[in-house]
Structure 1
Amino acid sequence: MSKTVVILGAGMTGLPLTHYILDHYASRHDLKVILISRSDEFYWNIASPRAVIPNQLDDDKVLYSIPETFSRHPVERFEFVVGVAETWYPDRSSVAVVFENGGKRVVQYDTIIVATGSDCNDNMPWKMVGSPKETRAVLSKVRTDMFKAHSIVVAGGGPTGVELAGELGYEYATTGKKKVTLVMADAQPLDTRLMPSTRLAARKELEKLNVNIISDTKLSRSAANEKGGYTLELTHHNGVKETMHTDILLPTWGIRYNTSFAPPSLLEPNSRLRVNGTLRSPNYDNVFVVGDAANLDSYAARVREAQVRHLASALEKYFPGEDVPEYVAEDKVTMTVAVGRGRGVGQLGNFGLWTLLVWWFKGRHMCTNIVPEYVRGKTLILGAF
């Protein structure tokens, strides 16, 4: 009798892992893979800072049908289930799934891979917003609001905030069409683990695009106005408060992990699932956790990809019952950040990346050129399996 592998989540960890297991292990080890996802479309959120800009990226460049990508696999090897994991029973090796129409199904498994990821706060489209329909609606609303606006505030100086401010600066601020402001809590944008020169380079690129940067400042309060727009309260590092008005507020910070279905005993205080060195739950050898849901590493795309690569290889040992190798987290800081459609900044280890290299790799298309092959399991962001 075949064994069942359940994969929860069809994002940037669950989708490529499903393809890899089907292509390399399913027939050899007599497996049936059940992919459970709340969405029947895959969202290429890497391009979201550009996708919200009117007339830049159509929805079909960032949203792809999941069932179509698995059409080559026979039903005895693969099943796709659209639903939300409601309750997980690891002691019984089962998970209860709720469908959109209110129906339920309990799915039994021999092995489960939890890759449920995370969502952005405030329903911002930097990640999938509920269903594909809801995501498309949010993208459309942001574009419409942006088209009408005269002033836009981006809150948060992380990679998403920098890329979004860069897109807005390139499209609007350089020509004086709209005022674009980036509010960030640190003195410089991007992660503090990056070299000061990399962070400074990002700031300079934004300033070239006429983006107004308010640093060392937190957005302490925001309120929507009855006649449109927002009133913001900014708190500077010295405690001084300032009131600011804007037509659009686009927060880029804060995420919530999609782990509410898990038993509290498996969760860390930050709501991520506890994992050991083999990317498995310390309590259950048949439970793997990868991506944002795992309490390991950061939740950058490059980290997710490293975990996918490791687990794809480690399952070669797991399925025949051999010892599973441990995952070694990458300690080299790597990041590429597009700043507008013409430039970018990046770092590989202790070396800064040339602007044109970042533009070629990411900025010119936000990696949308590889998505058709990616969703079919034929490549990863940094190359083929």
Structure 2
Amino acid sequence: MGPYSIVIIGASFGGIPAAHGLLRDVLPAIPALREQSYNVTLISPSSYFYWKVGSPRTIVNPAALPIEKVLLPIADGFKAYPKEHFEFVQAYATAIDHATKTVELSTDDGKTSRITYDSLVIASGTTSASPLWTLSKGSDALLAALKAVHARLPRASSVLVAGGGPAGVETAGELGQTYGGGKKEVTLLSGSSRLLPRLKNAAVGKDAEARLAKQGVKVVHGVKVTGVDEAADGGKTTVTLDNGTKMVVDVYIDATGELPNNKFIPETWLDARGYVKTDSQTLRLDVPGAKRVYCIGSAGSYSNGGLLDVKFAGKALLESIELDIIEQHPAKRKNIYKRITETDMQFVPIGSTQGVGAVFGYKLPSFVIRQVKSKDFMIGNAPKLVAGTG
């Protein structure tokens, strides 16, 4: 009998803390594994962790938040664990076969391989239309996109941001602070009837729009982007809207919605929206016969995609894995995940000195957002997450 093998697909806000929790707290405490031994394999297409919380500032003003602070080597955080207990694999997961308990992998150079598991954790997260927000296509794509926007922004006279959610509003706020006041024409397309449409409290979005207006950012509602034609020579970008009109701008930043990274996941494991069917209390895969499979983070059907949602689900995930390994299923668990964010909970900086947000449905004053997030996008938490100390 070989070591008990746990494979985690995804090395971001869900996967990295899960790996640390298993290696540090759960697996060493299971008596049977002291003889059988164990290993945790963490799989990601990039060898880096991306603190995408700070991406709006890194995109617009890299001098204020350089890429070196938001893109951190994953391996550095796992040096304390013996090699026989932990392995990081840089590859893309391409398929899961639960009958044989294998995950198929591929690398950028075309090599393929398989890895077997006893327990599987899906923490693949979401991907975006633009590589500025994700490592789902590897760090090279992200760095190339950042290099291009950093080269074009300083000399641009017009900038268009699409997306009225937190990423779009935060990016527009960074542009407004850095280039507002007539320096550049900055436009934000909400794609909806208001900003921050997921919040039930519409006053938060109205406050955001008013603050952006004072920065010189123009907000346009009710239209969405249907096509983008970027000049091959790095010149103007033509954006087609769903009302039939076109906008020609120097820089276009797509900050529209995210979709789950699910191409490698069996179709029967996905709900109608493409998210992994996940028990909202135990984080187990909610599919008959698929035992010892779990999901944490924004790829799961239980999740609202927020960081707090991922963080507070961690204990329930770890306990489910432990109980399944020792084959105990008590009626009452210590850690049943119950979402604390059913009501509005968002912190949205608008530049470094202000912001808007809500907690449990209540609108927060700007100075709270400034203290919590606007000053530095909580960048001090990035190395802590990688090291498993935060």
Structure 1 unmatched ranges of 5 or more: 380-385
CA distance in 2 between partners of 1:367 and 1:373 (Å):
11
Of the structure 1 ranges 89-98 and 265-274, higher mean CA displacement relative to structure 2 is found in 265-274
> Structure 1, residues 261-301: CA drift from partner, whole Å, max 9, x if none?
12222222332222234222223121001212212232222
Matched position secondary structure for 1:217:
coil
Which aligned pairs between 1:78-157 and structure 2 lie closer than 5 A?
78-121=86-129, 123-128=130-135, 130-157=137-164
Kindly tell me the number of residue pairs found equivalent between the two proteins: 373
Structure 2 unmatched ranges of 5 or more: none
Q: Which amino acid aligns with 2:83?
A: V
Provide the TM-score with structure 2 as the length reference: 0.90
**Sequence identity percentage:** 27
In structure 2, what is the equivalent of residue 267 of structure 1?
Answer: 270
Equivalent of 1:350, from 361, 370, 386? 361
Q: Which amino acid aligns with 1:333?
A: D
Equivalent of 2:208, from 194, 202, 209? 202
CA distance in 2 between partners of 1:361 and 1:111 (Å):
37
CA distance in 1 between partners of 2:308 and 2:197 (Å):
14
Which aligned pairs between 1:1-385 and structure 2 lie closer than 5 A?
1-29=2-30, 30=33, 31-54=38-61, 55-121=63-129, 123-128=130-135, 130-174=137-181, 176-225=182-231, 228-235=235-242, 241-277=244-280, 278-281=282-285, 282-283=287-288, 284-323=290-329, 325=333, 326-330=336-340, 331-379=342-390
Matched position secondary structure for 2:174:
helix
Specify whether residues 235 and 80 from structure 1 end up closer, same or farther in structure 2 by C-alpha distance, changes over 3 A only. Answer: closer
> Structure 1, residues 285-318: CA drift from partner, whole Å, max 9, x if none?
2100121221223222232223224323444433
Offset of residue 161 of structure 1:
0.4
Q: Which amino acid aligns with 1:141?
A: A
CA contact (8 A) 2:163 2:255 kept: yes
In structure 2, what is the equivalent of residue 383 of structure 1?
Answer: none
Specify whether residues 235 and 265 from structure 1 end up closer, same or farther in structure 2 by C-alpha distance, changes over 3 A only. Answer: closer
CA distance in 2 between partners of 1:16 and 1:177 (Å):
42
Specify whether residues 202 and 312 from structure 1 end up closer, same or farther in structure 2 by C-alpha distance, changes over 3 A only. Answer: farther
CA contact (8 A) 1:4 1:33 kept: yes
Specify whether residues 223 and 99 from structure 1 end up closer, same or farther in structure 2 by C-alpha distance, changes over 3 A only. Answer: closer
> Structure 1, residues 197-217: CA drift from partner, whole Å, max 9, x if none?
211111111112111111222
CA contact (8 A) 1:194 1:347 kept: no
CA contact (8 A) 2:349 2:373 kept: yes
> Structure 1, residues 43-69: CA drift from partner, whole Å, max 9, x if none?
111111111124222211111111111
Specify whether residues 251 and 264 from structure 1 end up closer, same or farther in structure 2 by C-alpha distance, changes over 3 A only. Answer: same
